[in-house]
Structure 1
Amino acid sequence: MEDAAFSRMPGDGGTLVVRVGAAEGAGDNGGWLDVVGVPAITPFAHCAGCVCCAPDGAIAAVLADLFRARVTGRRPWFDRVMVVVPAALHAGMRQALEGNNVVAARYRPVWRR
Structure 2
Amino acid sequence: MSIADDEAEKAYPTRYWEGTHVKKQFYCDTDDLQEAYLLGRNAPPADAEIEAVAKRLLWDSCKRYDDEYAAKDEEEAWYREGCFPGWQEDYIRQAKELLALARKAVNE
- Regarding TM over 0.5, the answer is no
The structure with the larger Rg is 2
Normalised by the size of structure 2, how large is the TM-score?
A: 0.30
- More strand by percentage: 1
Normalised by the size of structure 1, how large is the TM-score?
A: 0.30
- More helix by percentage: 2
